[in-house]
A = this chain, B = another copy of it.
Amino acid sequence: MADTKKIAVIAGDGIGPEVVAEAIKVMKKTEELYGLSFEFEHGLFGGIAIDEKGTPLPQETLDMCKAADAVLLGAVGGPKWDNNPKELRPETGLLGIRKALGLFSNIRPAKIFDCLKDASTLKPEVLEGTDLIVVRELTGGIYFGDKFRREGANGEEAVDTCVYNVHEVERIVRQAFEIARTRRKKLASVDKANVLETSRLWREVVNRIAPEYPDVELEHVLVDNCAMQLLRRPASFDVIVTENMFGDILSDEAAMLTGSIGMLSSASLGEGAFGLYEPVHGSAPDIAGQGIANPIATILSVALMYRLTFGYHEAAQSIEDAVASVLDAGHRTADIATDRSKAVGTQQMGDLIVAAMK
């Protein structure tokens, strides 16, 4: 029997609680099947925390997350809080928790499920075998640099500053090399080193670290070329590592390759094994409470947690295989159904996946 792992569960708003409930069912099934052991603690976060505690990120929730081995997050936000002042917006809680937990990377797998290939706008034969991960730096770059207005020689101007230091690049590049090692051992580092100084620093660091990972095949790709190559040869990528803004753009492009945002998992990582796991989709307030949300992205986030935080690769594989087999059997939630009248609900999808696990 494995050590008991503490999971902080912050289900959040909208469909968050519904999809998280199914993910927990799946985790419990892996306790049974693989002798794993989890202790779940639940905390308020996002809009619901604003309503009940007057802040999107209550101190007790943060303390609970800090004491946990991993965090499972549902979704946050909704129209109810959209016009709140900044410190009372659910998204502010998200930024706050990432910062407080020292999470500096966002991990987004884009994997094609065979039976959902038709959902993509790309040709099935191009997508064949696509299984990539985008590792995006999350705390630096132009999104966080100084930004201001000033009077210039030609009138009003706006300025954004993009800054990266060696340490910031080094820690995420190392993380990406480590992840590549657990996969197909290929790393594509994306920059714009022919133009940008931050990219030249980025590439220097990558080239300095690369010899420590002789088993990983490294390629440097310019960001504009990468936007092309994702369309031309998606299956050739394994792990893509890049800075904050490039990662924002490329991870969304990669997500669209799959054709089904409702299926995509993600992780935010810091130093060490700790991570926060959540579906890429949002809180979908329009369908909240109806029992029709697709829980697969959250369930796949659990598989990602098992791989990246706990090294439970066998149990992760079991979850991923179960999802694939349920889809192969033709079961669909409404968001991915071609015939919505035959769609299964959130709980039914969770049950089907649990039943398919071996």
- A: residues with CB less than 8 A from B are 121-123, 126, 142-143, 145, 147-149, 152, 154-168, 192, 195-198, 200-202, 223-225, 227-228, 231-232, 245, 248-253, 255-257
Partner of A253, one of B147, B192, B253: B253
Contacts of A228 in B (CB 8 A): 252-253, 255-256
Contacts A121-B232, A158-B165, A224-B248 known; list 9 others, CB within 8 Å.
Answer: A122-B231, A142-B162, A147-B196, A158-B202, A160-B161, A162-B162, A228-B255, A228-B256, A231-B253
CB distance from A258 to the nearest CB of B (A): 11
Q: Taking CB as reference atom, which chain B residue is nearest A233?
A: B121
A224–B249 touching, CB < 8 Å: yes
B165–A152 touching, CB < 8 Å: yes
Q: Taking CB as reference atom, which chain B residue is nearest A192?
A: B245
A197–B227 touching, CB < 8 Å: no
A143–B196 touching, CB < 8 Å: yes
Contacts of A255 in B (CB 8 A): 228
Partner of A154, one of B165, B196, B202: B165
Q: A142-B142, A149-B201, A228-B255 are known contacts. Are A157 and B161 too (CB-CB below 8 A)?
A: no
The listed residue with most B CB atoms (<10 A of its CB), out of A160, A196, A201, is: A160
A256 to B255 CA separation, bound complex (whole angstroms): 17
Partner of A122, one of B122, B152, B192, B196: B122
Contacts of A158 in B (CB 8 A): 163-165, 197-198, 200-202
A249–B223 touching, CB < 8 Å: yes
A227–B250 touching, CB < 8 Å: yes
Contacts of A200 in B (CB 8 A): 158
Contacts of A168 in B (CB 8 A): 154
A105 to B284 CA separation, bound complex (whole angstroms): 39
The listed residue with most B CB atoms (<10 A of its CB), out of A166, A225, A251, A252, is: A252
Q: Taking CB as reference atom, which chain B residue is nearest A124?
A: B123
B147–A197 touching, CB < 8 Å: yes
Contacts of A256 in B (CB 8 A): 227-228, 231-232
Contacts of A155 in B (CB 8 A): 165-167
Contacts of A252 in B (CB 8 A): 224-225, 227-228
Contacts of A250 in B (CB 8 A): 227
Q: Taking CB as reference atom, which chain B residue is nearest A126?
A: B121
The 6 closest A-B pairs by CB, nearest first: A158-B201, A147-B197, A157-B165, A227-B253, A228-B256, A224-B252
A255 to B225 CA separation, bound complex (whole angstroms): 11
Q: Taking CB as reference atom, which chain B residue is nearest A255?
A: B228
A sample of 16 inter-chain contacts (CB < 8 A) reads A143-B196, A154-B165, A154-B167, A154-B168, A156-B201, A157-B201, A158-B163, A158-B201, A159-B197, A159-B198, A192-B245, A223-B249, A224-B248, A224-B252, A227-B249, A228-B255
